[in-house]
Amino acid sequence: MYSTTLQNESPPMDETQLVREALTDANAFAQLYRRNVTRVYRYHMAHTGDTKDAEDLTSQTFMAALEGLASFRGDAPFTAWLMGIASRKRALFFRGRRLELPLEAATDIPAPGLLTEQLVGRRIQLETIVRALNQIHPDRAEAVVLFYFSGLGHAESARVLGKTEAAVKMLVSRGLQDLRERTSLALEVEQ
């Protein structure tokens, strides 16, 4: 059952220690969930474009993580391990489906504290980026989504993609270059 210790009683644990505790303590897993739920949700939202699908996939990701927690070896960050699960859940979801405008719905997530004009401006920018992401090589787009939407570092993204860190840095760099070219052209046309 739940631990009766007070929160903030001790300094935050590193993820490897927290995973070990999560094997027997629901509060420890809840802490892992809180630390990672936003990035997993954004990842799924960026790919599905649907709130319900993103929520379902996020739930499935964490259920699979809970069930497979004992298999986490700690040789990579927990976040990379978790995003690997998210990537497999996404692949299963899209098996046999046609992907349409995968990142568009991620632009619908409002940012707290922004004025309406700022939200509209941000929406236009994000729609331009989404269109450009749909036009670049899928490996580059996935690397950019993992790095920017999910907030993973190069090393963690490399683990998820099954590539070297140098390869991911190159994919992100070239993906950003492709995006710059496409978004600058799109912005020139819109003006």
Quote the pLDDT of residue 4: 38
Does the pLDDT of residue 2 top 70, yes or no? no
Domain boundary among 100, 133, 160: 100
* Residue 91 shares a structural domain with residue 162: no
Model confidence at 96, pLDDT cuts 50, 70, 90, reads low
* Residue 52 shares a structural domain with residue 131: no
* Residue 80 shares a structural domain with residue 41: yes
Does the pLDDT of residue 56 top 60, yes or no? yes
Where residue 74 sits, what CATH number does that domain have? 1.10.1740.10
**Which residues are CB-neighbours of 39 under 8 A, at least 6 positions away?**
79, 83, 150, 151, 152
d(CA 18, CA 21): 5
* Residue 140 shares a structural domain with residue 170: yes
Domain boundary among 100, 131, 165: 100
The helix/strand/coil state of 111 is coil
d(CA 69, CA 167): 28
* Residue 55 shares a structural domain with residue 85: yes
Quote the pLDDT of residue 95: 81
Q: Which of 58-72, 122-136, 173-187 has the lowest mean pLDDT?
A: 122-136
Domain boundary among 53, 82, 100: 100
Model confidence at 171, pLDDT cuts 50, 70, 90, reads very high
d(CA 81, CA 173): 23
Does the pLDDT of residue 151 top 90, yes or no? no
* Residue 21 shares a structural domain with residue 76: yes
* Residue 94 shares a structural domain with residue 111: no
Please say whether the beta carbons of 82 and 155 come within 8 A.
no
**Which residues are CB-neighbours of 33 under 8 A, at least 6 positions away?**
62
Q: Side chain identity at 182, as an amino acid letter?
A: R
* Residue 1 shares a structural domain with residue 94: yes
Number of domains the chain is built from: 2
* Residue 167 shares a structural domain with residue 114: yes
Whole-prediction pTM: 0.68
Which secondary structure element, helix H or strand E, spans residue 72, and what is its range?
Answer: none
Please say whether the beta carbons of 78 and 19 come within 8 A.
yes
Q: Return the structure tokens found at 120.
A: 């509209």
* Residue 1 shares a structural domain with residue 28: yes
Residue 86: which domain range? 1-100
Where residue 179 sits, what CATH number does that domain have? 1.10.10.10
Please say whether the beta carbons of 186 and 130 come within 8 A.
no
Would you put residue 49 in left (φ > 0), alpha (ψ -120 to 50) or beta?
A: left
Quote the pLDDT of residue 48: 77
* Residue 170 shares a structural domain with residue 185: yes
* Residue 109 shares a structural domain with residue 84: no
